[in-house]
Structure 1
């Protein structure tokens, strides 16, 4: 079974976001992964200095086929240096994983699916 790690900031700690709504969207995406027999895990990173160690812990938990880096890490200009750091952490701690990027929580499944090898059972 293919494995996908989704890295993103915890929406409950990011100012100006509706953590409950984003959490519900994320749960719906995780259900989509399960519906397609894909093993997906989420690492919701704190928005503080411990984010790097949390990312490394998630990346080294197992071998990942794909790591999706969420838009909350990629899009805000203020997070640019952290995004760069996360990309390099993936390269260092999950070198066999493909990188994928979503445009929002609602297309996380599609982002990961683009980077997974096609299988005969794939829809």
Structure 2
């Protein structure tokens, strides 16, 4: 998949949060040793109401250990946040709204 196309779609979805008056941010992680520190920094940035974990991490079977790591980091570093799952990059707003 084209990284620029994916990034444009994610940016469009992030702007949809603003259309719904939801203050949101998005964190993209590299599939390397930096993933954990990047996630901890993002989760510790503020008190989150909900964290949406995307299908790009959740769906590919080879990424199962990373998915587990993400869920556990959310539990540890954003304890008050609900955890939501989108079905695609285009319905993250709806996933978040289920818990807001």
SS of residue matched to 2:16: helix
Higher strand share: 1
Cα deviation code 1:28-52 (max 9, x no counterpart) = 1111110111111011101101101
Measured in 2, the distance between the counterparts of 1:110 and 1:20 equals 24
- The answer to whether residue 61 in structure 2 is matched with residue 61 in structure 1 is no
Range 68-77 or range 24-33, more displaced = 24-33
Q: 1:102 aligns with which of 83, 86, 96?
A: 86
Cα deviation code 1:23-80 (max 9, x no counterpart) = 1111111111101111110111011011011101100011000000111110111110
1:84 corresponding residue in structure 2? 68
**After the TM superposition, which parts of structure 1 deviate over 2 Å for at least 4 consecutive aligned residues?**
none
Task: Report which of the two structures shows the higher radius of gyration computed on alpha carbons.
Answer: 1
1:52 corresponding residue in structure 2? 36
Runs of 5+ consecutive residues of structure 2 not aligned to the other structure: none
Runs of 5+ consecutive residues of structure 1 not aligned to the other structure: 1-16, 117-123
Q: What number of residue pairs does the alignment pair up?
A: 100
Measured in 2, the distance between the counterparts of 1:22 and 1:28 equals 10
What TM-score do the two structures reach when normalised by structure 1? Answer: 0.78
Q: What does residue range 1-123 of structure 1 map to in structure 2 within 5 Å?
A: 17-116=1-100
RMSD of aligned residue pairs (Cα, Å) = 0.8
